[in-house]
């Protein structure tokens, strides 16, 4: 007589779970707040390095800065904060709706270069001498874009370090967010040293690092954060 009894489905399930978790070791939970602090710290370091190299522009505190300067840098800060918030949240696997704040913030920032170009092409704004607007040396001082992009590399490094600790579900979206955060916060970090505050300069040259960083990050970041 066979005394063996077939195992129940529940026992089989428990045995399967036990076999799957046998070699699993606990890991430290990824906290979005830590990622935000890391990116914020990288931004501060980028600002300090920029000040050490180019010196702080005192016109910010003496009333010399134009409204265009404050609006552009304010929008860069909003985009940086929104992108950072969405980026650190993307490091955790989750389902549901995604925040669209970074892309709405990017759309708001895009108003600045559009406004700058419209102003330069406007007959009223240039007094029928639109060519002189494009001849403005301030407009073509694209070194600021390079400096802002370079400062953003520190922010991008911090973002990638944090994303590698997590498990982003959408690699492509995390890459875009990394570029937006790095470009906006890097340009902001350098921007406090730049005394050129015309609409054509801050609206185009200081916004350019955001677009460049977004494209570069989309191409470079995925292999760095993919498991």
Q: Where are the domains of the chain?
A: 30-225
| Helix, strand, coil share of the chain (percent; to 5) | 70, 0, 30
Measured from the Cβ of residue 163, the count of other Cβ atoms closer than 10 Å reads 25
Contact 50, 147 (CB under 8 A): yes
Measured from the Cβ of residue 68, the count of other Cβ atoms closer than 10 Å reads 20
> Which residue carries 């304010």 as its tokens?
74
Which structure tokens are listed for 171? 């690699």
Predicted confidence (pLDDT) per residue in 81-134, tens digit: 999 999 999 888 765 556 789 999 999 999 999 998 888 777 555 555 555 566
How far apart CA 8 and CA 151 sit, in angstroms, is: 61
pLDDT value at 204 more than 80: yes
In sequence order, the 6+-apart residues with CB closer than 8 A to the CB of 169 are 90, 93, 94
> Which pLDDT belongs to residue 31?
86
Measured from the Cβ of residue 43, the count of other Cβ atoms closer than 10 Å reads 25
Q: Give the residue-averaged pLDDT of 20-29.
A: 60
Alpha-carbon dihedral 87, 88, 93, 96, rounded to 10 degrees = -60
Predicted confidence (pLDDT) per residue in 58-88, tens digit: 999 999 999 999 999 999 999 999 999 999 9
């Amino acid at each position: 007589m066979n005394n063996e009894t077939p195992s129940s489905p529940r026992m089989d399930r428990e045995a399967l779970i036990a076999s799957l978790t046998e070699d699993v070791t606990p890991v430290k939970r990824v906290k979005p707040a830590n990622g935000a602090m890391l990116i914020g710290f990288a931004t501060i370091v980028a600002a300090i390095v920029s000040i050490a190299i180019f010196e702080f522009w005192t016109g910010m505190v003496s009333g010399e800065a134009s409204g265009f300067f404050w609006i552009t840098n304010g929008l860069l800060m909003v985009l940086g904060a929104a992108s950072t918030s969405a980026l650190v949240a993307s490091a955790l696997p989750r389902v549901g709706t995604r925040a669209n704040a970074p892309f709405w913030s990017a759309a708001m920032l895009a108003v600045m270069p559009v406004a700058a170009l419209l102003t330069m092409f406007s007959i009223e704004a240039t007094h029928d001498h639109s060519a002189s607007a494009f001849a403005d040396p301030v407009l073509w001082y694209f070194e600021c874009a390079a400096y802002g992009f370079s400062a953003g590399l520190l922010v991008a490094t911090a973002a990638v370090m944090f994303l590698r600790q997590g498990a982003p579900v959408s690699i492509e979206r995390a890459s875009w967010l990394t570029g937006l955060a790095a470009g906006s916060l890097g340009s902001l970090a350098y921007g406090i040293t730049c005394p050129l505050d015309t609409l054509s300069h801050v609206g185009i040259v200081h916004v350019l690092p955001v677009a460049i960083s977004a494209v570069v990050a989309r191409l470079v970041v995925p292999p760095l954060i993919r498991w």
